[in-house]
């Protein structure tokens, strides 16, 4: 895999782990920590990291394909990632030991990490100018 792409995957993975620690700390502070919430958060985060890695692999392969094949391939990969997410949410609803809120927060982890990175970089660029 491309070094820049692998660096970005590693950055987001580390960021999700830090995000999870922050969420767990907030749950402990607000006394809303539970085993179900913890397991849901971890489960959602693992699946989110998996989906992010699958996205990176799909993008890398798609850019080397002809346009007609790339559209079909990327669409099928998108459907696969959304199916995985749907199954995870369904499992979290059915499983008594997982809280769906924890799973949802875990699944959104990469989005929060990427947005936080963007905000921090924008603020640093403004200070330099």
Please write the tens of the pLDDT for every residue from 109-128: 999 999 998 888 777 777 76
Q: What is the pLDDT of residue 117?
A: 87
Kindly state the DSSP code that residue 65 receives in the 8-state scheme. Answer: S
**Per-residue pLDDT for 34 more than 70?**
yes
CA-closest candidate to residue 51, choices 103, 96, 95: 103
CA-closest candidate to residue 27, choices 8, 42, 15, 7: 42
Q: What is the pLDDT of residue 127?
A: 72
Q: Which helix (H) or strand (E) holds 109?
A: helix 109-128
- Mean pLDDT for 69-86 is 94
């Amino acid at each position: 895999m491309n070094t820049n792409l692998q660096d970005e995957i590693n950055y987001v993975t580390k960021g999700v782990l830090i995000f999870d620690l922050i969420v767990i700390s907030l749950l402990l502070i607000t006394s809303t920590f539970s085993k179900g919430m913890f397991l849901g958060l971890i489960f959602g985060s693992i699946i989110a990291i998996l989906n992010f890695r699958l996205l990176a692999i799909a993008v890398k392969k798609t850019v080397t394909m002809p346009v007609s094949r790339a559209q079909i391939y990327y669409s099928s990969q998108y459907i696969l990632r959304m199916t995985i997410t749907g199954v995870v949410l369904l499992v979290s609803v059915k499983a008594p030991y997982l809280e769906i809120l924890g799973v949802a927060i875990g699944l959104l982890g990469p989005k929060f990490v990427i947005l936080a990175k963007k905000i921090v970089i924008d603020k640093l660029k403004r200070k330099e100018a």
